[in-house]
């Protein structure tokens, strides 16, 4: 009976995670003249792999560093990513890599990030994005570029890429890789602090949220208070974390960054499957109510009402939700408040809803607090 249930759950997991063609680094310098170029710095705990992967599923003993210029094509639906297939490359519709630079080591990478922070017209804010379960190297990079572009975030962008198996059947491998990678992410956050970041916005999706929490826990246990202070905002999107584990992680961080937000949905099918695979009823990202975390300094934004896009990653894939985030962030009121001013739309909406434990977002532009 257990074998039958496991087979059904694995089949469901494949159904919700393996629909589109997989991403690959496709270099086309000419795409720079067609699309909008987004610079993405990358730190990865993946081992090197033959082209065109660059870095694959193996776990590396040392962090590797790179930089990519990604072209966002003009003819695309917000929230979407179209990878080149077997057909001719089309820079008007497909996301492509304009330039790739693999750094010799940490020193060169840090120097480049430091220069970017000093010259970015948007200031010294850094957004660090951590991808989720079943992502290959290219997919995480392109998603980081797409998400920040669609939400009009102009901060210096750093992507942390960890060694996912990139296979819907690789859940256990990915969980182990998440634990393997927490020290590397913690080190990256310390390096960004040392390079002069004024503030760090940590954005993590799915299983990547587990790595983000573990990295913050590591920093707290190491007494890295200065780096934790630089974490101005933490955003966990559909976090694939056991609630009890999350509570223990939060307990280890004396002063969790604020705002601290969770985007979730009780309709998240991928997390329902994950919960069953792990023997639990719910995960942090698909709570039916927030009583279990109501005493914690977090905000839970329920995005289950949005049916467009991927419900497991609605913040990145739902044009309706992205529009709402921008509208709420730009609405009169919060910029004139006593709270910190910011051009970051995600931070803006969080500052508007900071006093509520749970917020239900509606496609009609309404916010109802509970």
In the predicted model, is pLDDT for residue 132 greater than 70?
Answer: yes
pLDDT tens, 53-86?
899 999 999 999 999 999 999 999 999 999 987 6
Would the pLDDT of 334 be above 90? Answer: no
pLDDT at residue 226 tops 80: yes
In this predicted model, what pLDDT tens digit does every residue of 185-224 receive, in sequence order?
Answer: 999 999 999 999 999 999 999 999 999 999 999 999 999 9
Q: In Å, how far are 7, 87, 149, 150 from 39, measured between CA atoms?
A: 41, 26, 10, 14
- Label residue 1 by pLDDT band (50, 70, 90): very low
Strand ranges of the sheet holding 125-130, from the earlier edge strand across to the other edge: 96-102, 55-72, 36-48, 156-161, 125-130, 199-205, 231-237, 260-264, 299-302, 358-361, 367-369
Lowest mean pLDDT among 64-78, 225-239, 264-278: 264-278
* pLDDT band (50, 70, 90) for residue 337: very low
Is the peptide bond prior to 52 cis by the omega test (within 30 degrees of 0)? yes
> Residue 323, SS3?
helix
pLDDT at position 349 over 60: no
Q: What's the mean pLDDT in 235-248?
A: 96
pLDDT of residue 360: 80
pLDDT at residue 347 greater than cutoff 80: no
The pLDDT, as a whole number, for residue 3 is 45
CA distance 64 to 160: 10
pLDDT interval class at 358 (50, 70, 90): confident
| 333 pLDDT tier (thresholds 50, 70, 90) | very low
Greater confidence (310 vs 354) lies with 310
- Average per-residue pLDDT for the chain: 86
Q: What is the pLDDT of residue 221?
A: 95
Q: Among 226, 234, 218, which residue's Cα sits nearest to residue 180? A: 218
Question: Model's pTM, two decimal places?
Answer: 0.89
Express each pLDDT in 106-119 by its tens digit. Answer: 999 999 999 999 99
Contact call for residues 66 and 42 (beta carbons, < 8 A)? yes
pLDDT reported for residue 121: 86
């Amino acid at each position: 009976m257990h074998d039958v249930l496991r087979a059904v759950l694995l089949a469901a997991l494949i159904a919700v995670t393996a629909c589109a063609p997989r991403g690959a680094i496709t270099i086309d310098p000419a795409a720079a003249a067609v699309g909008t170029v987004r610079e993405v710095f990358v730190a990865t705990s993946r081992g090197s792999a033959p082209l065109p992967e660059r870095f694959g599923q193996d776990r590396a003993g040392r962090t590797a560093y790179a930089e990519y210029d990604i072209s966002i094509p003009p003819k695309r639906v917000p929230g979407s990513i179209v990878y080149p297939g077997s057909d001719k490359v089309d820079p008007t519709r497909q996301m492509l890599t304009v330039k790739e630079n693999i750094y010799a080591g940490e020193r060169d990478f840090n120097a480049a990030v430091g220069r970017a922070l000093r010259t970015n017209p948007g200031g010294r804010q850094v957004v660090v994005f951590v991808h989720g379960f079943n992502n290959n190297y290219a997919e995480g990079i392109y998603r980081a570029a797409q998400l920040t572009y669609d939400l009009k975030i102009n901060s210096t962008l750093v992507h942390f890429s960890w060694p996912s198996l990139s296979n819907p059947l690789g859940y256990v491998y990915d969980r182990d890789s998440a634990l393997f990678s927490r020290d590397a992410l913690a080190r990256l956050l310390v390096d960004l602090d040392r390079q002069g970041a004024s503030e760090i916005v940590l954005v993590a999706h799915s299983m990547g949220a587990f790595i983000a929490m573990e990295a913050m826990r590591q920093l707290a246990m190491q007494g890295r208070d200065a780096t934790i202070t630089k974490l101005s905002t933490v955003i966990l999107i559909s976090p694939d974390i056991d609630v009890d584990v999350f509570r223990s992680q939060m307990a280890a961080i004396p002063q969790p960054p604020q705002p601290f937000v969770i985007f979730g949905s009780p309709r998240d099918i991928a997390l329902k499957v994950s919960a069953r695979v792990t023997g639990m009823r719910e995960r942090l990202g698909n709570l039916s109510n927030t009583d279990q975390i109501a005493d914690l300094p977090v905000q839970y934004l329920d995005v289950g009402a949005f049916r467009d896009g991927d419900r497991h990653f609605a913040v990145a894939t739902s044009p309706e939700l992205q529009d709402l985030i921008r509208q709420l962030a730009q609405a009169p009121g919060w910029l004139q408040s006593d709270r910190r001013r910011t051009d970051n739309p995600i931070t803006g909406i969080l500052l508007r809803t900071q006093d509520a434990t749970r917020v239900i977002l509606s496609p009609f532009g309404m916010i109802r607090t509970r």
